[in-house]
């Protein structure tokens, strides 16, 4: 198989498929968790094959170790400690830690976006001293 970058349309379809699979996983979870885990696995396979990222909204919805679909409150516990958000997978006990700063960043981004969309205005954003710029896992 030829390696390297796939054409844009192919990546677009891959991203769409990942999104659809996670949506299906979310919907199926209550009735059929096994199926959700399978969908997650398929989404992950697509992500690896086409080298596309799992969209931000789904990145925390599966376990990095056992690749189960995670539903906070059902098979996953969310705790905040030491400036980190901890997701504990009940399927295998794996704990994933995400920097809390990302949450803040996301909130701010959403706020700015909704503001811009609603009013079409650009408001200056103030960066407080506590808003250290996170390194690494941003995209
Ligand atoms: Zn797990």
Q: In the chain, which stretches have pLDDT less than 50? A: 1, 120-121, 131, 134, 136, 138
Distance 3 CA to ligand 1 centre (A): 30
Distance 57 CA to ligand 1 centre (A): 18
For residue 63 the two structure tokens come to: 């376990």
- pTM (global) more than 0.85: no
Residue that is written with structure tokens 């690896």 in the block: 48
Whole-number pLDDT of residue 111? 79
Q: How far apart are CA 49 and CA 11, in angstroms?
A: 10
Detail the residues annotated as belonging to a binding site for Zn(2+): 63, 66, 89, 92
Whole-number pLDDT of residue 52? 94
CB 76 within 8 A of CB 89: yes
Distance 136 CA to ligand 1 centre (A): 23
Q: What is the pLDDT of residues 100-126, one digit of tens each?
A: 765 667 777 777 777 766 554 455 555
Whole-number pLDDT of residue 138? 47
The domain segmentation of the chain, as residue ranges, is: 8-103
- CATH architecture type of domain 8-103: Up-down Bundle (1.20)
Half-sphere exposure of 120 toward its Cβ, with a 13 Å CA cutoff?
A: 0
């Amino acid at each position: 198989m030829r390696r390297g970058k796939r054409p844009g349309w192919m990546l677009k379809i891959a991203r769409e498929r990942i999104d659809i699979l996670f949506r299906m996983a979310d919907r199926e979870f209550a009735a059929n968790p096994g199926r959700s885990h399978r969908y997650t696995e398929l989404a992950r396979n697509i992500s690896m094959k086409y080298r596309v990222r799992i969209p931000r909204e789904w990145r925390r919805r599966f376990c990095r170790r056992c690749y189960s679909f995670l539903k906070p409150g059902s098979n996953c516990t969310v705790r905040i400690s030491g400036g980190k958000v901890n997701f504990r997978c009940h399927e295998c006990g794996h704990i994933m830690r995400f920097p809390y700063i990302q949450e803040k960043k996301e909130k701010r981004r959403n706020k700015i976006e909704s503001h811009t969309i609603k009013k079409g205005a650009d408001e200056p954003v103030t960066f407080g001293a506590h808003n250290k710029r996170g390194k690494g896992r941003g995209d």
